[in-house]
Amino acid sequence: MPRVSLFVTCIVDQVFPQVGLAMAGVLDRAGCEIEFREAQTCCGQPAFNSGYRREARTVAEYFLQVFEDADYIVVPSGSCASMIAHHYAELFDAGDTRIAGLASRVWEFSRFLVDVLHVEDVGARLERVATYHDGCHALREMRTKEAPRRLLEHVRGLRLAEMDAAEECCGFGGTFSVKFPEVSGGMARTKIDSILRSGAEIVVSTDSSCLMQIQGVLSRAGTGVRTMHLAEVLDSR
């Protein structure tokens, strides 16, 4: 039975706690031994992406301390997982033992299910037409392309309607969304045009931050389309 330590990311913890619960539910049913370390906070990405390396490093050191002896660290975000698995290497010396082997311990949720647990059918049911948004860091840094789609294909009642711009950025980009709001908003509107063309009722992704941006624009535009994190879809029955 794989021992899984959940890293629930700051945005899921504070804004979308149901995503964390859904992820825990799915992993539990898939036979994992789950723990949640209450000392955890954030991966440090907001500081790192804003150019504050010292601050990012102190938060990263704290993260590594919290998860020091964890076997698998599973994250409901490709972006936060990538920060830990790939970008910590830029904050520490190459020989630092704390980051050794980190990339094989930190997993984005959908790829953990498919590539580590070898589970594609989690027994979910959801009667919806869904389209899948490839979060940029999930796609390009964590190679998360097939896993979420395989999982969605096994959801009973769900039909996957791919949009034409699935791989195009939603425009969130962390502080970019508030430093360049018009550009970010313009990117999001291009994204939702593609979503609406797909005819989907829900937009699914591995990242709550992308979904917060997409939901914000979908709701501002007065559409009835809503967003769901992949974990929430897989937890539906």
Partner 1 sequence: MAEPYQHKIANALGDPKLQLAIYSATGRLADGRRRTVSTEAFPDYQELRQHAHEIKKHTLNHLDFYLQELERNVEARGGRVIWARDGQEARAFIRNLARERATNLIVKSKSMTTEEIHLNEHLAQDGIEAVETDLGEYILQLAGEKPFHIIAPALHKTREDIAHLFERRLHAAHETTPERLTAIARAALREKFLEAGIGITGANFLVADSGIVVLVENEGNARLSCSAPRIHVAVSGIEKVIPRAQDLGVFLNLLGRSATGQPLSVYTSFLSGPRREGELDGPEEFYLVLLDNGRTKVLADAEKRQSLYCIRCGACLNNCPVYRKIGGYSYPWVYSGPIGKILTPQFMGVHQDPWLPFASSLCGACAEVCPVKIEIPKILLALRAEITEAGIQKGGMLEKLAFRMWAWLMRHPRIYERVAPVAAAAASRLPRAGPLKAWLSQRDLPPLARRSFRQLWRERRK
Residues that bind partner 1 (CB under 8 A): 8, 10, 12-18, 20-21, 24, 36, 38-42, 44, 46-53, 55-56, 58-59, 62, 90, 136-137, 140-141, 167-169, 171-188, 190, 212-213, 215-217, 219-220
Count CA atoms within 13 Å of residue 128 on its CB side.
Answer: 22
Q: How far is the CB of 44 from partner 1 (least distance, A)?
A: 7
Q: What share of the chain is helix, strand, coil (3-state, %, to 5)?
A: 50, 15, 35
Q: How far is the CB of 184 from partner 1 (least distance, A)?
A: 7
At residue 176, the 3 state secondary structure works out as helix
Best CA proximity match to 96, nearest among 131, 139, 60: 60
Distance CA 196, CA 226 (A): 11
Complex with partner 1: residue 58 or 116, whichever CB lies closer:
58
Q: How far is the CB of 226 from partner 1 (least distance, A)?
A: 11
Complex with partner 1: residue 205 or 213, whichever CB lies closer:
213
Phi, psi of 203 (to 5 degrees): -110, 125
Complex with partner 1: residue 158 or 170, whichever CB lies closer:
170
Q: Which residues contact 163 (CB under 8 A, 6 or more apart)?
A: 131, 132, 133, 194, 195, 197, 198, 200
One-letter amino acid at 60 equals A
Complex with partner 1: residue 49 or 120, whichever CB lies closer:
49
Distance CA 18, CA 20 (A): 5
Q: How far is the CB of 230 from partner 1 (least distance, A)?
A: 17
Complex with partner 1: residue 137 or 149, whichever CB lies closer:
137
Q: How far is the CB of 100 from partner 1 (least distance, A)?
A: 21
Complex with partner 1: residue 15 or 100, whichever CB lies closer:
15
Complex with partner 1: residue 40 or 205, whichever CB lies closer:
40
Q: How far is the CB of 186 from partner 1 (least distance, A)?
A: 5
Q: How far is the CB of 156 from partner 1 (least distance, A)?
A: 26
DSSP string across 55-92: HHHHHHHHHHHHTTT-SEEEES-HHHHHIIIIIHHHHS
Q: How far is CA 13 from the centre of its chain?
A: 13
